[in-house]
Structures are given as structure tokens and as C-alpha cells.
Amino acid sequence: MKVLPESFYLAPTEEVARNLIGQTLVVRTPEGLKRSRIVETEAYLGVLDRACHSFGGRRTARNEAIYGKPGTSYVYFIYGMYFCLNAVTGERGVPEAVLIRATEPFPLSEAPPERGSRLETNGPGKLCRFYGIERDDDGLNLASSRSRIFIERGEVNFWRIQRGSVSPGGIDSSAKARDWCLRYYLAGSRFVSKLR
């Protein structure tokens, strides 16, 4: 499969969030390359988005990657227990990103086991835990097949892509920002996290 180029991530962030649905997340593990279909994303719109780490122009060592070039990975730690994977969008220095909220492993025979009634990749923290994505994966080039994590072009059924409002639990939440319709998902996938 062809790796999505850096130019893919130069589009407006909401457009990238939509267009990532159906693409293939690839993680290099000790057992080999693990692939899964991206089925849910969420756009974060930078300095004007109260739910984004860069709101108001905030810039620290921890969020430096979100200011990087398009297609950079931004990995952060949340709630003292989960890592979350984002793809940086737009021009370098414009701190916007798309959160990868859920993926669907394929072939489905390789899907992670369910614990009780809960899937293991139907949430941003859970998928990072399953694939071993941690802070060391911050700042990678997602547009390079040499990276530990990259994204390949997949099969996209645009008619199945739907848009929804944001529920608390992404990069952050606020009464104002959480109601924005910045979340995209693949209709019919059982790996999509709980929708509002």
C-alpha cells in the first residue's frame, strides 16, 4: 500500500479528520507490522479551540510536536494512565491535529480479543495501549514507511463516513468546545467508540 504523503495532512484539519477514515494505521512491533483501519477521528483546531492543547497559543516541551510539520505524530499522556495518538495537520507552526480515536484491525481474524463486552481498540487510549504506542512515539513522521508508525492509503467508502458531536475524553473538553461537530466515524463499525 502507498503511504499517505505529507501533502495529505496540509488540508484543513476537519477535512483531514474526515479523509483519514478508512485509511490504514501501521505500527511496527516486535512481531512485525500491525495494520488496522481507522474508523473514528476527531479534529482539534488549534489556538481557537478550547479543547486543544495549543489553545491560546500555549506552547511547551510536551506539546511541541503539534507545532511541527504536517504528518508528524503528536502523542500525549492523559488521565495519568493513557497515551493518545494524533496526526499533526496544516502548515508547520499551525498547532492543529487529528486524534485517532478508534481503529478496526484487519484481517478481522487478527482483531484484539474482547474483555467482557469491551473491545480493545475502540478508544484512543485503548488502541495505544494495545499497539504499545507511548510517549517515545511523539514526533515521528507518519508520512514515512521507515517510521515505527505510519499511515497508508486504504479503501474508503465515503458514503459510510458520518459526522458527530464530540463527547468528553479527547485532548480535553469544555462546555463550549465539546459541542462542536468535529468527530468523524465509519458507520456500521463495531469498533467505533460510544457516540453522543
> Which domains are present in the chain?
6-186 (3.10.300.10)
Q: Are 71 and 142 within 8 A, CB to CB?
A: yes
Task: Name the stretches of the chain with pLDDT < 70.
Answer: 46-47, 53-57, 107-119, 165-180, 195-196
Distances (CA, A) of 13 to 16, 45, 94, 145: 5, 7, 10, 22
- What pLDDT is recorded for position 115? 46
Q: In 114-132, which positions are buried (b, 16+ CB within 10 angstroms) versus exposed (e)?
A: eeeeebbbbbbbbbbbbbe
What CA–CA distances, in Å, run from 38 to 55, 103, 154, 157, 161?
A: 26, 4, 9, 12, 11
Q: Three-class SS of residue 162?
A: strand
What's the pLDDT at 57?
63
Q: What is the pTM of this model?
A: 0.85
Give the pLDDT confidence score for residue 175 in this predicted structure. 44
In this prediction, residue 195 carries a pLDDT of 61
